[in-house]
Amino acid sequence: MEPTRAMLLPGSVLPAELAYAALIEALGPDVEAVAKDLELYGDDKPPADWSLDTEVEGVVREADARGWSTFHLLGYSGGGAVALAFAARHPERLQSLALLEPAWAGRWDWSPAHAQVWKDHDSLEALPPDEFMKAFMRLAVRPDVVLPPPPASVPPPWMAQRPAGIRAFLRTFKSYELDRGMLASFDLPVFFALGARSNPDDYGEIASRLSTVFPDFRLEVFEERHHFDPPHRIEPERLAGLLRNHWERAARRGP
């Protein structure tokens, strides 16, 4: 019997190893879980031609290098948007899909409230990096959520890349064509983790919309979580159990 193989894609802030260390430990040794960093941060600044397809191609290379013909794919935030793009481009490579508050889910006919979220993101473009990050984080959560202040220690070197990387994501979201028809034909299990304290006009609407697109969609709400204290870091044991069930259900369906 082949081991459970899962690739984990991080968001646009934490490196993959930091983001998923607790979850990988909770999953245990019977899961071959690979935390893959984004191609976006391979150099000091984002490549001029970077898009979600750059990340999709990186996932293909990583899987091929490991000899994985098929695998489970999980993505959080920006990595969730990559996971959606991958499912639309290469559904034959997947055994299941897990989405942890994907940052974007296509340029469709969203509600006025969701459209306003993206107008608010546009207004961040001219801000200096420190103000940009604060405003970016505020948009992701409910108004009553108190976000922690920046750490007093010197930021790690990788943090300097993040404002430009987030801006690159926001730019590609404006032009990338996510094939809704391909997502609708993706009939493998899709799991979505949603924090109840995240911005409902953003991630809540994405969850609601995708529930009408994917034929086999399951939503799990984490009542105390929001986008910047996500379950893979704060409640890894609970999430690991849900993922194991999700993957076992996919295995029972067979190829």
The answer to whether the beta carbons of residues 100 and 77 sit under 8 Å apart is yes
Task: State which residues form the domain around 109.
Answer: 4-253
214-238 residue pLDDT tens: 999 999 999 999 999 999 999 999 9
Q: What is the pLDDT of residue 254?
A: 61
Question: What is the domain count for the chain?
Answer: 1
63-122 residue pLDDT tens: 999 999 999 999 999 999 999 999 999 999 999 999 999 999 998 889 999 999 999 999
166-219 residue pLDDT tens: 999 999 999 999 999 999 999 999 999 999 999 999 999 999 999 999 999 999
- Residue 77: CB atoms within 10 A of its CB come to 27
DSSP 204-243: IHHHHHHHTT-SSEEEEEETT--TTS-HHHHSHHHHHHHH
43-75 residue pLDDT tens: 988 999 999 999 999 999 999 999 999 999 999
Task: Give the HSE-up count for residue 235: Cα atoms under 13 Å, Cβ half-sphere.
Answer: 21
The residues, ordered by sequence, that sit 6+ positions from 90 with a Cβ below 8 Å of its Cβ are: 56, 60
Which ranges in 90-230 belong to alpha helices (H)?
112-122, 129-139, 162-175, 180-184, 205-211
- The CATH code of the domain that includes 90 is 3.40.50.1820
CA distance 230 to 209: 21
